[in-house]
Amino acid sequence: MAPVRVRGASNLPAEWDLIGRRVMVTGATNGIGKEAARQLAARGATVVLACRNLPAAERVAEEIRQQHPGASVEVGPTQLDLGSLESVRGFAEAYRKSGKGLDVLINNAGANYCKESYTPEGVGALCQINYLGPYALTRELEETLQRSAPARVVNVSSVTHRYGWIGDPAKFLSSWRPGSYYPSTKLANALFAFELQLRLGEAGIQSCAVDPGGVSTNIWQNSAFDQPPLSYVIRNMYAPPSDGAAAVVHAATVPWGKEHKAAADITRRWAGGGSGGLRRRRAAPTLPDLRFYARGLFASPAITSWRGAVEPGSLADQLRSYLWGGVAVVHSLLDWPLRNLSGGWLAGETRVVPAAPLAYDAALASHLWDLSADVCKLPRQPRLLKSAQ
């Protein structure tokens, strides 16, 4: 059966044509994930909703089909609970057995304010949902992605990764740190994206991370931001999920070669030297193509030039963090109003920007990858198809 061209997609650039492509979105029952799924389906992709709540996913799929007649949306093949490695394995196995390809994987699902708890493997629940679950899912589907090469993996990170800190990956995986755990999981998303590019980029898997900006979603539930007056600020000053999804969709669909020079310049500046420098881990003289995307004011130098923690816990670091935090809050409150009131003329561009400097620490990224593989009972080295070797 020939692919169906969906209404509403005719005004999109031809280079973003997703007809015949399969895209999986985790956490697609609400917020950014739901809107990303809708936008991708409107562009002609077959979208797979990978969710914990299957009835809700079915409702979202039907809603998208009604909004965009001809859209191809699938649910499953089973429930995906990123908080459980057993669930991740079962979902990935079912998908592999289906024999269907996978062109793009968007690791979007995440949590923030939740009670302290741990998985049977001893991993903090927030770390499991935000980082280790997506890591396990991607690794379980790495061969499926290679068969569809060039394929892409997008990790949804956050501006908060810029003040995240991972000193010891083992402690990060097993220790619950109130107030700083979420930013650290978002830093781990960037570290994973870069390490995946390093290990599987030459096998045809393009990997990147993206900051969707300040978005009004249920990520703020069960926090002070969910109560007046802060809830009013979030609802009225932060972007709607559809706007945050636009940055994610850009990262998932922009032609890889289009921003190669910008990405190469950033990688050369941030990742070329030091004892953990990426160049030292490669036989070739070139650096890998590392991508971190941000939109609008979240891509401004005032945000991206922040160096992150230098001496975690020191008074100087705390003062720097508070100062940068104030700058970030101002930018977050102006970003969506500027874009909305100007019709996208101001703060409307999504582009490659420097991630936090710690995201380019190759030794840290490699150590985190290997420990994560051990916890997930996966081989440390990716399973390369013969065609990629």
The two beta strands, 291-295 and 350-352, are: antiparallel
The residues that bridge with 12 in the sheet, in sequence order, are none
Tell me whether residue 182 is one of the annotated catalytic residues: yes
- State the Cα torsion 162-168-173-175 to the nearest 10°: -90
Cβ neighbours of 389 (radius 10 Å): 7
d(CA 92, CA 284): 33
d(CA 34, CA 50): 11
Q: Which two tokens stand for residue 227?
A: 């109560």
Residue 356 · residue 161 · CB < 8 Å: yes
d(CA 220, CA 151): 32
Q: Which of 95, 135, 163, 182 is catalytic?
A: 182
Cα 82–chain centre separation: 14
Question: Which residue numbers are catalytic?
Answer: 182
